[in-house]
Structure 1
Amino acid sequence: MLYPEIQNTIQSFDFKQITEERKSILQPLVDFIQNKVNQHEAIRLNLICTHNSRRSHLSQVWAQTAAKHYNIKNVNCYSGGTEATALFPVVAETLSLSGFKIKTISEGKNPIYAIKFSPNEPPIIGFSKTYDDDFNPESEFAAIMTCSQADGGCPFIAGAEKRIPITFEDPKISDGTAQQKQIYQERSLQIGTELFYVFSQIKK
């Protein structure tokens, strides 16, 4: 069971807004997950962008939440970057607005957050790390490239069973502007809608 505030956010997701072109970009991820479900195998998704600070975290959190919502078992979502920086604080604030419960476990240059989507599920541990960090799987995972920079800059992801580019526009373009809160919210909801669509297509 998800937190009621997250349930309310999900009610606003409109799959009809996803274009056919976008659905074709999402389809390889649907196929990867479906194949794992059919084979009764663990599903590991590593969501990757350059700095592991914005889009990859939003994608990781929404994908894990979607798996729970649609009751798809054995799904573990991770995130990483081509370099480690820090989870941008506005990302945590944006997720809070959608109903996630967030605690800061440690502060410093690269803070660590516990992000909960359900009262009875373990939290997602959010901090910036490289995609091949020990915290992430070594093999048998899909590498989901959430930004074109990482996709272009990382021709090879060691251990990845499949590489799937699903890129999103960087909300960083709004940093320091009056539109920042709105742009981050829009990007988070777009990512949430598209990843919920992916998991809604899985036949158990």
Structure 2
Amino acid sequence: MSNSNALFPKLNEIVSLFNFEKITAERRKILQPLIDFIQLKANDNLEIRLNFICTHNSRRSHLSQVWAQTAAHYFDVKNVFCYSGGTEATALFPKVAETLKNSGFDIKMLSQENNPVYAIKFAATESPVIGFSKTYDDLFNPESGFAAIMTCSQADVGCPFIAGAEKRIPVTFEDPKAFDNTEIQNEKYKERSIQIATEMFYVFSQIKK
């Protein structure tokens, strides 16, 4: 998979190895409403706002936000703005930042509080994704006109209504938190990150311009 919208070299290398054929028919069916939402907005040259939501906004929602924004740039889908939030705010889990850094993202910690703020860059000429834990209705996120993408089943079940969401789309992933403090933690975070990345790149590869 190659594209003119270059990413950082190591990131480009990892992206080139993504294999869409590994995405099952069942997962493609789950991803289709997200593709349809983006395509509909793209057809009318409207802003595409995606808010990835999980319970604590610490792992899966951030991975989804960062990889989706990267995929939009890679496939040159314009006017895409990716956000993330939780049903409660905690902190972006450090292993997530480490996993993204190991994938080739340039990451800078902007603040060192209990809920640190990260600047996450995928390309030299593009603005960074700002990563920190927040509730989905935080002022940092859009108030309306967005798709709420539910990345964990707890948030999907616990939040049947997301105020301001134009569409609510469940695209849930297994939580790598289950492997915290085990010998396979690094491996499992990388595995989940690559799954999310591959699926987000598949989504944006389907958008017709």
Same fold (TM over 0.5): yes
- Offset at 1:140? 0.3
**Cα RMSD after superposing both structures:** 0.4
Aligned residue in 2 for 1:22: 27
SS of 1:83 mapped into structure 2: coil
Q: After TM superposition, list the pairs within 5 Å mapping 1:1-204 onto structure 2.
A: 1-204=6-209
Aligned partners of 1:123, 1:202: CA distance in 2, in Å?
23
- Matches of 1:124 and 1:33, distance apart in 2: 19
Q: Scaled by the length of structure 2, what TM-score is found?
A: 0.97
CA-CA distance at 1:93 after TM superposition: 0.2
Give 1:19 deviation, angstroms.
Answer: 0.3
Superposed CA deviations along residues 97-121 of structure 1, whole A, max 9, x for unmatched, are 1100000000011000000001010
Instruction: List per-residue Cα deviations over 1:145-194 (Å, max 9, x = no partner).
Output: 00000000001000000000000000000000000000000000000000
Task: Give aligned pairs, total.
Answer: 204
Matches of 1:177 and 1:108, distance apart in 2: 26
Structure 1 unmatched ranges of 5 or more = none
- Deviation beyond 3 Å, 4+ runs, structure 1: none
Q: What's the % identity of the aligned pairs? A: 70
Specify the SS of the correspondent of 2:144: coil
Distance 2:106 2:185 in 1: 21
- Local SS of the residue matching 2:107: strand
